[in-house]
């Protein structure tokens, strides 16, 4: 396995090194001297001593050190922004997202929009090489990028480029195979440039989809695979901000390659998207989920209503309702597992799809309905994976059979991306 580290992580280490409390300790020491001097001055005044004690020099020294500390912290933060915004993010999105095609291009011709980047840059349309060359910091990082980009082969990636990417760009841990993550990025990039969802649900759905995919790119450093060889049921763990799953089997997923990965990302989004939009730390303990927030009842009621409408249209027969879903797009059962999981929950597990949760999972109430929080969370994750993948068959099913609940999902996501709880 490759050991891969993001440049943001590298600069975090440097920032912590720069801000290792040496200045704080010096300032504290000078403040103690100042207090002692002030005490001596008071004693001299009270005893009528004609001597004078001044602490002006100490104050100036304290202010000077505080200014240095503040400047260093500000410099470190700006370097973080520069690396994250000008190097990591564009490189991740513009190169790794469709890396196989980029190898055939001249990197000096690839332009990156830096208008929203770090404060050092107020212009846009620079090539990657220009950005690297103009970094104000003469660092190993800049040299690595410049060297790797300069040696980029027209047919295959150079060893220097791969090494640079491994050490500085990707945020994925040792447990994740690099090839899998590159393929996932390729799928994401291809889907970001599709408009299948717009054909079925309009411009707003297209905009929400872009934001969901951008959220993945921009925050992948904050969530990761906890165990790539995990052999039990895949799951998202909010305590680790990570996913347990068997990644090597995902490329052969019978639904669509890496569908489970995007499903678990849906749970991560559910748990963290609002915090990100509000500029809050996603590392704080929080059990808040979009799907169980203000729109929870509306989403839940729409899910129940959509499922019941399908059954009603099929003479109240749950089995016929599921068969109707399958025959609508003429696919095998694994391909409709997202929908049969939701329907199985609502129909109190009278029928079962190819994949799905067991009946015990749904915690049915005395009214025979599944627990609202659990149904909402799973449906939210299913709808997120469908939104990202944009499989035409899935979208056709959503439009015909689940229009109300999916529109409720889009409404929730739009609000969440704006930081609304």
Asked if the structure places residue 1 within a domain, the reply is: no
Q: Which whole-number Å values give the CA distances from 209 to 192, 271, 378, in the listed order?
A: 8, 17, 18
**b/e for 248-270, b at 16 or more Cβ within 10 A?**
eebeebebbbbbbbbbbbbbbbb
Structural domain including 133 reads 7-169
Same domain for 313 and 378? yes
Asked if the structure places residue 17 within a domain, the reply is: yes
Same domain for 346 and 288? yes
Asked if the structure places residue 60 within a domain, the reply is: yes
User: Of 169, 198, 222, which marks where a domain is finished?
Assistant: 169
State the total domains in the chain: 2
Going 381 to 387 to 388 to 392, the CA torsion angle's sign is: positive
SS3 97: helix
Tokens of 184: 């996932």
- The answer to whether the pTM exceeds 0.75 is no
Same domain for 183 and 156? no
Asked if the structure places residue 314 within a domain, the reply is: yes
Q: Write down the pLDDT at residue 124.
A: 42
Same domain for 20 and 66? yes
Same domain for 106 and 216? no
Q: Phi-psi category of 243—alpha, beta or left, where left has phi over 0 and alpha has psi -120 to 50?
A: beta
pLDDT tens-place values along the chain, 421 residues long: 223 344 445 545 555 554 555 555 655 666 666 666 666 666 655 655 544 445 555 566 666 666 666 666 565 556 555 555 555 554 444 444 433 343 344 444 445 444 443 333 333 444 444 544 444 434 554 455 555 555 544 344 445 444 544 443 444 444 455 677 777 877 888 888 888 999 999 998 999 998 898 888 777 656 667 777 777 788 888 877 778 888 888 888 888 889 999 999 999 999 888 888 887 776 666 778 899 999 999 999 999 999 999 999 999 998 899 889 988 888 888 889 899 999 999 998 666 666 788 888 899 999 999 999 999 999 999 999 999 999 999 999 999 999 999 999 999 999 888 877 6
Residue 127: phi and psi, rounded to 5, are -75, 160
Q: How far apart are CA 218 and CA 186, in angstroms?
A: 15
Asked if the structure places residue 309 within a domain, the reply is: yes
Same domain for 194 and 135? no
Asked if the structure places residue 386 within a domain, the reply is: yes
Strand ranges for 27-181 from DSSP E: 111-112, 126-127
Q: How far apart are CA 335 and CA 322, in angstroms?
A: 12
Q: Write down the pLDDT at residue 412.
A: 92
Same domain for 164 and 267? no
Asked if the structure places residue 405 within a domain, the reply is: yes
Same domain for 209 and 67? no
User: Of 139, 169, 199, which marks where a domain is finished?
Assistant: 169
Residue 336: phi and psi, rounded to 5, are -115, 20
Same domain for 87 and 202? no
Same domain for 203 and 142? no
Going 223 to 390 to 299 to 357, the CA torsion angle's sign is: negative
Same domain for 120 and 264? no
The CA-to-CA distance between both ends of the chain, in Å, stands at: 40
User: Of 147, 169, 191, which marks where a domain is finished?
Assistant: 169
Same domain for 356 and 218? yes
Asked if the structure places residue 203 within a domain, the reply is: yes
């Amino acid at each position: 396995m490759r050991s891969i580290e993001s440049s943001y992580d590298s600069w975090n280490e440097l920032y912590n090194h720069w801000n290792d409390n040496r200045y704080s300790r010096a300032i504290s020491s000078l403040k103690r001297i100042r207090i002692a001097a002030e005490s001596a001055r008071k004693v001299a005044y009270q005893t009528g001593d004609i001597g004078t004690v001044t602490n002006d020099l100490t104050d100036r020294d304290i202010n000077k050190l505080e200014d240095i500390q503040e400047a260093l912290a500000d410099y470190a933060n700006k370097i973080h922004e520069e690396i994250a915004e000008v190097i990591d993010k564009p490189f991740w999105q513009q190169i790794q997202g469709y890396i196989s095609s980029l190898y055939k291009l001249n990197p000096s011709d690839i332009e990156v929009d830096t208008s929203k980047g770090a404060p050092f840059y107020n212009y846009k349309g620079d090539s990657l090489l220009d950005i690297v060359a103009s970094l104000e910091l003469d660092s190993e990082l800049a040299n690595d990028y410049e060297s790797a980009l300069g040696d980029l082969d027209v047919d295959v990636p150079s060893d220097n480029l791969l090494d640079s990417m491994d050490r500085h760009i990707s945020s994925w841990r040792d447990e994740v195979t690099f090839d899998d993550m590159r393929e996932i990025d390729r799928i994401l990039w291809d889907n970001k440039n599709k408009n299948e969802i717009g054909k079925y649900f309009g411009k707003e759905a297209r905009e929400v989809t872009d934001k969901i995919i951008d959220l993945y790119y921009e925050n992948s450093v904050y969530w990761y695979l906890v165990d790539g060889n995990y052999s039990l049921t895949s799951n998202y763990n909010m305590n680790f901000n990570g996913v347990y799953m068997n990644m090597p089997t995902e490329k052969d997923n019978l639904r669509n390659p890496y569908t489970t990965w995007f499903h678990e990302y849906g749970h991560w989004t559910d748990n963290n998207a609002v915090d990100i939009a509000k500029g809050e730390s996603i590392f704080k303990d929080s059990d808040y989920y979009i799907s169980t927030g203000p729109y929870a009842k509306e989403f839940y009621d729409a899910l129940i209503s959509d499922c019941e409408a399908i059954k009603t249209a099929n003479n109240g027969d749950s089995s016929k309702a599921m068969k109707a879903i399958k025959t609508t797009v003429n696919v095998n059962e694994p391909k409709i597992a997202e929908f049969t999981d939701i329907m199985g929950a609502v129909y109190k597990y009278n029928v079962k799809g190819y994949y799905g949760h067991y009946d015990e999972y749904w915690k049915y109430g005395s009214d025979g309905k599944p627990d609202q929080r659990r149904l909402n969370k799973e449906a939210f994750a299913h709808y997120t994976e469908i939104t990202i993948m944009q499989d035409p068959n899935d979208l056709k099913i959503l439009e015909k059979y689940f229009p109300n609940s999916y529109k409720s999902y889009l409404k929730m996501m739009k609000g969440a991306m704006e930081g609304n709880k």
